[in-house]
Structure 1
Amino acid sequence: MDATLPAVAEELLREIKKAFQETSHVPDDLLSALKFVFGASAVPALDLVDHQSVTRIVSPSGRTVYQVLGSSGKLYTCYASCHFCSCPAFAFSVLRKSDSLLCKHLLAVYLSQALGTCQELTVSNKQLTSLLLMEDSLS
Structure 2
Amino acid sequence: MAVALPAVVEELLNEMAAAVQESARSKEVFLFSRLKFVFGSSAIQALDLVDRRSVTLISSPSGRRVYQVLGSSGKTYLCLASCHYCSCPAFAFSVLRKSDSLLCKHLLAVYLSQVTRTCQQLSVSDKQLTDILLTEKRQE
What RMSD in Å do the two structures reach over aligned CA positions? 1.5
Secondary structure of 1:120 counterpart = strand
Secondary structure of 1:27 counterpart = helix
State the match for 1:11 in structure 2: 11
State the match for 1:118 in structure 2: 119
Counterpart of 2:19 in structure 1: which amino acid? A
- Give me the TM-score of the superposition, normalised by structure 2: 0.92
Distance 1:102 1:11, change over 3 A: same
Q: How far did residue 135 of structure 1 move?
A: 1.3
Q: How far did residue 24 of structure 1 move?
A: 6.1
State the match for 1:59 in structure 2: 60
State the match for 1:108 in structure 2: 109
Summarize deviations over 1:17-52 as a string: whole Å, max 9, x none: 110111164632211110111222100000000000
State the match for 2:71 in structure 1: 70
State the match for 1:45 in structure 2: 46
Distance of 1:99 and 1:93 partners within structure 2: 6
State the match for 1:21 in structure 2: 21
Counterpart of 2:127 in structure 1: which amino acid? K
Q: How far did residue 133 of structure 1 move?
A: 1.4
Distance of 1:126 and 1:89 partners within structure 2: 29
Runs of 4+ in 1 over 2 A off after TM superposition: 24-28
Q: Percent identity?
A: 71
Ranges in structure 2 where 5+ consecutive residues have no aligned partner: none
- Give me the TM-score of the superposition, normalised by structure 1: 0.93
State the match for 1:32 in structure 2: 33
Alignment of 1:75-90 (within 5 A): 75-90=76-91
Distance of 1:64 and 1:105 partners within structure 2: 16
Secondary structure of 1:3 counterpart = coil
Aligned residue pairs total: 136
Distance of 1:22 and 1:108 partners within structure 2: 21
